[in-house]
Amino acid sequence: MASDGFRPLDEKLLVEYVKATPVLADKLGNQFDKLEIEEVGDGNLNFVYIVISPSGSCVIKQALPYIRCIGESWPMAKERAYFEAITLKEHGGLCPDHVPEVYHFDNSMCLIEHISDYMAKTLFYTSLLYLTTTDHKSAVAKYCGNVEMCRLTEQVVFSDPYKVSEHNHWTSPYLDSDAEAVREDNLLKLEIAELKSKFCERAQALIHGDLHTGSVMVTGDSTQVIDPEFGFYGPMGFDIGAFVGNLILAYFAQDGHAVDGNDRKPYKVWILKTITETWNLFYKKFTALWDEHKDGPGEAYLPAIYNNPDVQLLVKQKYMKELFHDTLGFGAAKMIRRIVGVAHVADFESIKEAKKRAVCERKALNFAKNLLKERRDFQSISEVVSAMEQLDSQ
């Protein structure tokens, strides 16, 4: 993933590197004459190459010591690759069915099943619902070392969108006043501060830290979650919210892609269904793990105390309600930053006509602002979906 004397890998260096690395050379059958090499990263942070030889293939990802889309003026620890690797290893041990080696393309229910499985297992098994406080504190200490990646999130998710920053951009001039309104909304700032505190202070589970839909690689029968270089002990809702927030963005982007003969309505219905089922399946799987391990090593709720069905139901409802509201809050925060912050999403960016794009983005932004402020009023994911449809029809 990285050489010792650091050099950004171009195609020439990449071939040298592969030749000099036995395990990679073996993967490619030691055939280097007809290599196909494609750079496939989104360009924000890293270089990602797919390398194909006649007898095999591999993916090479390189962490740069700065943020690629900004340049060397914004340095960034390339040691994040280490945290990516150990988080993959840790999550892979917990959820071996969904750990990378090969990446392809998708169908729907598999994705929903798999991603809810991934979130339920990785979050449950690294929380105090399963860990002793001894193991938990030791793991928390270990991941404190990934502070630089946490700080990047703090800046681009919880800070920059709410202040003037050279990194921010939006569909100008259409959203100029919308961006300004975000910077002047005291109640919104109150809510984002609460989420930032939770992100910085609450070591609830080993989270992926960047679980947007672009971190999920899917085929018809396999779902692989990659890129946990932001991994650390933080609030569970940050992962679930990242995924759900990206789906909500996708929903509001569809009208910008509608053309004669394809109004995108069936796809919008599919996205709503995916949002609903992702949360509901996660809920079901997570609480099933809880039931399965209620007499296990976890020390949050000792069996000798939480010893009757009534109290078990009460604590579960309370825990899941807070997690649901965290999910909505963090999801909304991630939506806002994708519209007025530094890094945007393809769903919107690919709408060529700026005016049309701005209309879609404004709907998503208004929905996110409301969700962040009023998240505690939502009792179920179907209420969230209804609110999306209502705002969309206005």
Catalog residues that contact its own copies under the rule CB under 8 A. Answer: 128, 133-134, 136-138, 140-142, 144-145, 147-148, 150-151, 154, 159, 162-164, 183, 186-187, 189-190, 193-194, 196-197, 200-204, 299-302, 304-308, 310-311, 314-315, 318
Smallest separation, CB 341 to its own copies (Å): 13
DSSP 39: E
Least Cβ distance, residue 193 to its own copies (angstroms):
6
Least distance from its own copies to the Cβ atom of residue 284, Å: 22
- Which residues are CB-contacts of 215 (< 8 A; sequence separation ≥ 6)? 208, 225, 226, 227, 228
The least distance separating its own copies from the CB of residue 40, rounded to whole angstroms, comes to: 32
**Closest CB to its own copies among residues 109, 193:** 193
For its own copies, which is the closer residue by CB, 198 or 363? 198
Q: By C-beta, is 230 or 348 nearer to its own copies? A: 230
Q: Which two tokens stand for residue 361?
A: 């983005």
* Distance of closest approach, residue 304 Cβ to its own copies, in angstroms: 4
Q: Which is nearer to its own copies, 192 or 371 (CB)?
A: 192
User: Amino acid letter at 31?
Assistant: Q
**Longest alpha-carbon distance in the chain:** 67
Backbone torsions φ then ψ of 105, nearest 5 degrees: -125, 180
Minimum Å distance from CB 65 to its own copies? 17
For the CB of residue 72, give the shortest distance to its own copies in the complex, in Å: 20
> Per the structure block, which two tokens stand in for 45?
């942070």
| Closer to its own copies by Cβ: residue 267 or 306 | 306
Helical H segments across 28-161, by residue range: 80-94, 108-125, 133-143, 147-153
Helix, strand, or coil here: 143? helix
Give CA–CA dist 272/278, Å, rounded: 10
Nearer to its own copies, 262 or 317 (CB): 317
Are the C-beta atoms of residues 103 and 251 closer than 8 Å to each other? no
Question: What is the residue type of 200?
Answer: C
Question: What's the rounded Cα separation, in Å, for the pair 41 and 39?
Answer: 6
Q: Are 18 and 28 in contact (CB under 8 A)?
A: yes
In single-letter form, the type of residue at position 148 comes to E
Cβ distance to its own copies smaller for residue 89 or 137: 137
